[in-house]
Structure 1
Amino acid sequence: MDATSAARKSMISLHRASEPDVLKPLISRARLDSDERSRTLGYAAGLMADLREAQHSGWVNQFLQEYRLNTSEGIALLSLAEAFLRVPDPTTADLLISDKLGEADWKSHSGKSSSQMVNSATWGLVMGRALVGEGESGPLRRLLSRAGEPFVRQAVGAAMRLMGEVFVMGRTIDEALKRMKKPENKGFVASFDMLGEAARTQKDAERYYAAYRKAIQAVGKESKSGHSVSVKLSALHPRYEVPQYDRCVPELTDMLAHLCQLAADRNVALTVDAEEDERLDMSLDIIEAVAKRQELRDWDGFGMAVQAYGKRANAVIDWADSLGRPMNVRLVKGAYWDTEIKKAQVEGLSGYPVFTRKAATDVCYLACVRDLLEAKNLRPAFASHNALTVATILEWAGDRRDFEFQRLHGMGEGLYERLVRERGYDCRIYAPVGGHKDLLAYLVRRLLENGANTSFVHQMGDDSLSEEELLADPVEHIESVARTRHPGIPLPVDMMVHWRNSQGIDLKDRPILLKTASDIEAVPFEPEGTDAVHADPLHPSGRARKAIEAARTPDDDVHAAITRAQAAYRDWERTPIHDRATTLERFADLLEENRIELMALCVKEAFKSIPDALAEVREAADFCRYYAYQARTDLAPRTLPGPTGERNELKMEGRGTWATVAPWNFPLAIFVGQNAAALVTGNTVVAKPAPQTPSIARKVVEIAHAAGIPEDALNLVTGGADVGAELVSDNRIAGVAFTGSTATAKRIAHTILVDEERPIIPFIAETGGINAMIVDSTALPEQVVADVITSAFKSAGQRCSAMRLLLLQEDIAEEMEEMIAGAMATLIIGDPGDPATDVGPVIDRSSYDKLMAYRETMRPRWLATTHVPEEGLFVPPTMIGLDSMDDLDKEWFGPILHVATWKGGKLAETIERVNAKKYGLTMGLHSRIARSAEIAEDLARIGNLYVNRNMVGAIVGSQPFGGEGMSGTGPKAGGPNYLPRFCAERAISVDTTSAGGNASLLNMDES
């Protein structure tokens, strides 16, 4: 095995390894001996003095010092800067100003700075606060009231432009080059980056590519400047994702090679930026392919960034060195820490790809410093604002000068000036270039997400921290905590605290994804039923899936199944709660052990994509473990207070035999959830799956019986509507849990109430909805686009929670519709078993015909649609424009999105119009105005409200799911109130006085 392959293999073992194991070899590499430590502290003290002096000179430093991130004013200012410049309408701008400035104490900052520019910016913020704040009075308020909101908007706009000056080197590359010639940048060079959000559309990617080309050409005209350009691969392709590897990697390789050739011809260095962990392997494949191109082999300007918070950082450096060619390597701490932690938890992965302690990242960074200084082919660039880190590099480098330091524009001024101008070290400023409207927002988000108070820059501004604390040795700290993971960040498996989080599969790891797809394909599947009416080719190999029609003959006698369940009830109900809960936990374990077969059934019978199929298995396991925990904690008999001589107790017991009716769109998760809840509460069950998905239900019941649930306690009946009607109409049924259409739910409700001789039984219904997402002009467009695509089109729009109605503030509607249309054009529609597929077919011919007929009637109103395979039940994702939200009065269960507009400032009225549709399942809101979220919480008559995220994928125990109104009865599945609905509450009161009274009172100590 060559060195390059060995390094890649090492990355695999390190990726999600335990923190202690990864840190063990790094500590020896990062450790300073006593003499080194002494000298390093001396260097660092001098750098600290330079930093503190710089904080009091220059308006940029004073601005950052005045509004630090660990102050309420600093956070308010950054939050305002993140959204203000993209708001086109005055109404929403005023609401945003009021929301962000209304609570902070701007007057306390007025006139304090020695910089007139900082004081001018503060004065604008004071004026904004005075106009919008409660309780303000006096001449200033009266003046501003006469001047009106335009005056305040101008003042706040001026402050935002100053913020842009802080973080953005220039709005254009020419402006940035000009600024680098100013005296404060003397001796420094720059790495220019056309930063911004990742491309969401092909148009975005083409715009970024053109910007990079222009930057290289502009920098090349100043060939002696030493400036360079940084490139973000996610900006060059709208689908830079592991499932799209075969498409995006070759295209990105060619684009990067063309940019590199352009840079090499002009003697301009080019560095590929690091991004999220899931893209690391793809980026290395692209970089290696470009690095090995013959025409670029001798070019010494090619480079890449390495993030030290990643557990694979040292292996990446080894890999870069093994390429055997000159490479520049920028070592950074890391920019996506919060995201990496959350992703691993949500996806239930085995561990984290990043360190959980900042000190551990510092240790890794120092170990990487040694690696880079010892490398044969690499020229290091050390990006840091930490005085101790810089001092350590100086100590280890000795007299060497064949490396450079780097800092961010707007941060760390004073740290490097003396090193550059007096001692001859190289330092490069990482210089973002772009319009303030987009770029300032991006940079502020990175600062808010990753500028934790533990960072050196923010700690420097904390007067309560001593120099000794600021310069503490990270190695000593990590050893003092035994190299352990941060106690406040549990492993993903332990995230839910009281029950084990379900296991995920790292589908962002390409070898794992491909193996999973291959394993799924290998699972044999023969559709049930002999009277299927058609076959649907899903890909060129001709693999067919026969639809199962509702008229299929049932495989079991409903009456007999209920009889068996009733006979089993008494023994099962008397089984101790703890034992029933333990059985559910075994059930969850077996579901995970059989997950490939279950996923295959979901893909082949229900047309689920691979990620959706995995989510089904995980949610099913989560339901089992969560309900087991809830049963143990909430269903045990409770002693209630009462008078002396009396025992009062409340018991939660089963009701009898339940009928559960599950849908085809969640044929595994909802089927398991309904039955697990009924069983753990002591009931027996007759379960009916949707007629389209009997094989999934049959496998689940088989697994449940293997877990220890008695066969007669869980009975399966299959078939169509006639079977369901017979089941719920039997007056021996003690309760019904149903998920499906509103019309069917109403029929069931009527059936169980119309018989006067029948007891009143509980009915739990979850149905659909006209689920709306409301977007105002403060929302981040790129985030909205991603969430719209996921909410409206993933799972072929066949989720009960899927978005049916998008309500765009009219001021941004045209721009948003264009972006959504562009993102729709990148969707891959096809075989759900193909890892690259985004949208598969709809469930059956009946659904297909209904959706296609409706879509055709709305053809004049199409805003965008997509191409689909010619054969198969593929409904093209389609966006339809409406004159008014009132034009949509029913749910269309498929990949069809309706769009209407609303007026800024009319959020409350808009929510009430959505309420008037009488559905109440899910609603989304995208807004940077906190007060808007409060209005939605107050007014929306909705089961699940999602703010600044997509509207699908509720998590058991975290986001209990269910609707109200025409969307269901509740209680919510996966929530704390679900199990009691399956129970009979029985209160027992016993007079104990006649049997000797309360024994605890006898011989009571009267003292």
Structure 2
Amino acid sequence: MIPYKHEPLTDFSKSSNIAAYQSALKKIQSQLGRDYPLVIGNKKIMTEEKIISRNPADKREVIGLTSKANKELAEKAVQTAAETFESWRKAEPEARADILLKASAIIRRRKHEFSALLTKEAGKPWSEADADTAEAIDFLEYYARQMIQLKNGMPVKSRPGELNRYSYIPLGVGIVLSPWNFPFAIMAGTTAAAIVAGNTVVLKPASAAPVVAAKFVEVMEEAGLPAGVLNYLPGSGTDIGDYLVDHPQTRFISFTGSRDVGLRIFERASKVNEGQIWLKRVIAEMGGKDTIIVDKEADLELAAQSIVKSAFGFSGQKCSACSRAVIVEDVYDHVLQRAAELTKELSVGNPADNPFMGPVIDQSAFDKVMSYIQLGKTEGRMITGGEGDSSHGYFIQPTIVADVDPQSRLMQEEIFGPIVAFSKAKNFHEALEIANNTEYGLTGAVITNSRENMERARKDFHVGNLYFNRGCTGAVVGYQPFGGFNMSGTDSKAGGPDYLQLHMQAKTVSEML
């Protein structure tokens, strides 16, 4: 098998790529407003009640309508997945992997089309959408190859007259609850991992971006995935989310989203319901409050660039986004001033026009972020931004708040928007203490030329993904396995060598010869 190779990002400085992307946007524009059915087994089901996906940059524009599931249809989906599992679990791992590789090839051929859909549905500027699609391809390719490596299990010892084997078998029916901020990459990755490991899936995509998930389901069907392995079930968390999590035939839940929802799922999944004969497994990624530390011995231009790109890429709507910059006092004013200059140069607008930054996802997100901006005016000094406009789309200017107390709400609570708080530290030791003072532990970065401080951070900066002399966003599948500590989730390390085992259980077979 050809070794895994990271999908390259598109170079939009080339006129041919610009033209190709603009063509893809026109194609997506011609497809807007379509109805998408539920997919349960081999049935496409239209319901009267719909989830309406709107363009966050132009809330009048409807991207698509997906049928909305109720509990009766959720039950049907679980039963279908449970029945299909009995045959799918016996499919050869190579055959399951081949489907993922076929799907990745289909997506690669239609890469700009999927990215253009993300620009429309999720409000992603071109480079952010392109990275989302590339990561989806990476997940499919990487997990397919990982399954081939794991198909024979792990070696164990055998004594004379005895043969022992240690292998992995799938768990059963998985519920995949995917997020809106990476509605293609994370949705495809969590779904594909479960499927290639031999499980069947009920996929409930985020209601803010369900159309790209519908398109992915179509691709998996085209790639040869048998009916019933992947069941597409948009719906509200209150209507069907709890029902799916609680169901006695649910074997595991794969969730990416907020801390509060993650804790609710974890609590509900811990209860054994009538007819349930296992302890459910939860794979959860629940957000972050991520810090970039700048040491006095550092490349200060790199520091400012890293903070701005990590804080404001995709409007700060990444669980890995830099929402806290902790700067040693010797260089604080310099880094703050330079970051402010860079931020004021950023373009904000309709992502179809390819600015640096587009909108936040919806009215709820807009209201939340604007409330934190108001809070920032009382907790610190407003340096840039602080303005928003939701009359046409949900646009907020990139905002820097300086001189913020490490214990303030702005420094402690996940905002998920284009706001970064600056805090001053007396020295590197205090900066590290501030960086660790949240309940989260997802990503962090340290900008320093001090090898001593690098080694101190390597041991003491308590995050799942730590980066030196670069920003704190942009983990690459197979290169930087992604997942965090504490309230950031179960440190599942997506895109890493241990991820597929979370979807399987080990079985020891011993034969006396």
TM-score, normalised by the number of residues in structure 2? 0.90
The DSSP-based 3-state class of the residue aligned with 1:507 is coil
CA distance in 2, matches of 1:576, 1:908: 53
Verify: 1:892 aligned to 2:415, yes or no: yes
Matches within 5 A, 1:744-783: 744-755=261-272, 757=274, 758=276, 759-783=278-302
Aligned to 1:720: 236
499-508 or 967-976, larger mean C-alpha shift: 499-508
1:929 corresponds to which residue? 450
How many aligned positions are there?
A: 489
Q: Which runs of 5+ in 1 are unaligned?
A: 1-493, 993-1007
* SS state at 1:649 partner: strand
After superposition, give the CA deviation of every residue in 1:687-730 in whole Å (9 maximum; x if it has no partner).
Answer: 11100111010000110111111120011110221222211111
| 1:598 counterpart residue number | 114
Residue type at the aligned position of 1:512: N
Q: 2:352 matched to which residue of 1? A: 833
Following superposition, the deviation at residue 868 of structure 1 comes to 6.4
Secondary structure of the residue aligned to 1:754 is: coil
Q: Is the 8 A contact 2:385 2:400 kept in 1?
A: yes
2:140·2:192 contact (CA, 8 Å) conserved in 1? yes
Q: Does 1:510 align with 2:510?
A: no
**What does residue 706 of structure 1 align with?**
222
Spell out the pairing of 1:468-487 with structure 2 (5 A cutoff).
Answer: none
Alpha carbons of 1:518 and 1:785: their partners in 2 closer, same or farther (altered >3 Å)? Answer: farther
The residue aligned with 1:643 is: 159
* Residue in 2 that maps onto 1:901: 424
Q: 1:787 to 1:521 in 2, by over 3 A?
A: farther
Structure 2: distance between partners of 1:915 and 1:635: 39
Shift of 1:566: 0.9
Higher relative strand content: 2
Which of 1 and 2 has greater Rg?
Answer: 1
Find the partner of 1:674 among 190, 198, 202. Answer: 190
Checking the alignment, whether the CA contact within 8 Å between 1:507 and 1:513 is kept in structure 2 is yes
State the match for 2:69 in structure 1. Answer: 554
Give the aligned partner of residue 97 of structure 2.
Answer: 581
Q: Would the aligned equivalents of 2:169 and 2:504 in 1 still touch at CA under 8 Å?
A: yes
Look up the SS of the partner of 2:435 in the other structure. helix
Give 1:863's aligned residue: 383
The secondary structure found in structure 2 opposite 1:885 is coil
- Is 2:349 the partner of 1:845? no
Q: How does 1:986-1001 map to 2 (within 5 A)?
A: 986-992=507-513
CA shift, 1:874, in A, is: 0.4
Q: Secondary structure at the match of 1:670?
A: helix
Change (3 A) 1:841 1:951: same
- Counterpart CA distance in 1 for 2:386 and 2:162 is 71
Cα distance between partner residues in 1 of 2:294 and 2:463: 17
Aligned partners of 2:191 and 2:203 also within 8 Å? yes
Between the aligned partners of 1:619 and 1:693, the Cα distance in structure 2 is 17
Say if 2:397 is the partner of 1:876. yes
**Quick check: 2:64–2:211 contact (8 Å CA) kept in 1?**
no
Q: Secondary structure at the match of 2:432?
A: helix
Q: Which structure has the higher relative contact order (CA within 8 Å, separation 6+)?
A: 2
1:799 counterpart (304, 310, 318): 318
Structure 1 segment 86-105 matched on structure 2, within 5 A:
none
SS of the equivalent of 1:631 reads helix
> 2:197–2:500: 8 Å Cα contact kept in structure 1?
yes
Q: Distance in 2 between matches of 1:984 and 1:676?
A: 17
Q: Could you report, residue by residue, the CA deviation over 1:833-882 in whole angstroms, capped at 9, with x for unpaired residues? A: 112x0110000101101111221232253121177666320011111124
Match of 2:332 in 1: 813
Alignment counterpart, residue 617 of structure 1, candidates 126, 129, 133: 133
Q: In structure 2, what is the Cα distance between the partners aligned to 1:897 and 1:741? A: 19
Question: In structure 1, what residue type is equivalent to 2:357?
Answer: V
AA partner of residue 647 (structure 1): L
Q: Secondary structure at the match of 1:967?
A: coil
Letter in 2 for 1:838: F
Q: CA deviation at 1:532?
A: 5.7
**Does the 8 Å CA contact 1:660/1:688 hold for their aligned counterparts?**
yes
Q: Tell whether the 8 Å contact from 2:179 to 2:206 is kept in structure 1 after alignment.
A: yes
Paired amino acid for 2:130:
L
Q: Is the 8 A contact 1:547 1:844 kept in 2?
A: no
* Inter-partner Cα distance in structure 2 for 1:667 and 1:775: 32
Which residue identity is paired with 1:816?
V
Is 1:526 the counterpart of 2:44 in the alignment? no
Q: Aligned partners of 2:173, 2:480: CA distance in 1, in Å?
A: 28
Q: Is the 8 A contact 1:779 1:926 kept in 2?
A: yes
> Quick one: distance in 2 between partners of 1:857 and 1:933?
34
Rounded to whole Å, the distance in 2 between the matches of 1:590 and 1:509 is: 24
Q: Distance in 1 between matches of 2:259 and 2:218?
A: 30
Helix, strand or coil for the counterpart of 2:136? Answer: helix
Name the CA shift for 1:703/1:629 in 2 (closer, same or farther; >3 Å): same
Whole-Å separation in 2 of the counterparts to 1:951 and 1:603: 23
Q: CA deviation at 1:582?
A: 1.2
The structure where helix makes up a greater share of residues is 1
1:975–1:914 Cα change, 3 Å: same
| Offset from partner CA, 1:794-815 (integer Å, 9 cap, x none) | 1010011001100011121112
Q: Give the letter aligned to residue 664 of structure 1.
A: W
The question of whether the paired residues in 2 share the 8 Å contact of 1:637 and 1:650 is answered with yes
- Measured at CA, do residues 672 and 883 of structure 1 come closer, stay the same or move farther in structure 2, by a change above 3 Å? closer
Kept in 1, the 8 Å contact 2:124–2:351? The answer is: yes
Distance 1:901 1:756, change over 3 A: same
Amino acid at match of 1:502: E
**What is the one-letter code of the residue matched to 2:317?**
Q
Sort the Cα spacing of 1:742 and 1:569 in 2 relative to 1 into closer, same or farther, 3 A.
Answer: same
1:975, distance to aligned residue in structure 2 (A): 0.2
Per the normalisation by structure 1, the TM-score is 0.47
Partner AA of 2:383 in structure 1: L
Contact 2:100/2:223 (<8 A) preserved: yes
Partner of 2:38: none
Following TM superposition, by how much is the alpha carbon of 1:732 offset from its aligned partner in structure 2, in angstroms? 0.4
TM-aligned CA distance change 1:951 to 1:533, over 3 Å? closer
CA contact (8 A) 2:257 2:286 kept: yes
The partner residue of 2:372 within 854, 865, 889 is 854
CA distance in 2, matches of 1:498, 1:534: 39
1:883 positional shift: 3.7
Gapped regions of structure 2 (runs ≥ 5)? 36-48
| CA distance in structure 1 between the aligned counterparts of 2:403 and 2:64, rounded to whole angstroms | 35
Mapped to 1, the partners of 2:415 and 2:84 lie a distance apart of 41
Distance in 1 (alpha carbons) for counterparts of 2:68 and 2:175: 19
Distance 1:612 1:700, change over 3 A: same
Paired residue secondary structure (2:412): coil
How far 1:553 moved relative to its partner?
A: 3.7
1:527 touches 1:605 (CA, 8 Å); kept in 2? no
Between the aligned partners of 1:611 and 1:627, the Cα distance in structure 2 is 24
* Conserved? CA contact 2:290–2:321, under 8 Å: yes
SS of residue matched to 2:261: helix
CA contact (8 A) 2:20 2:112 kept: no
**Structure 1 contact 908–939 (Cα < 8 Å) conserved:** no
Give distance in 2, aligned partners of 1:535 and 1:585.
31
2:460 to 917, 936, 939: 939
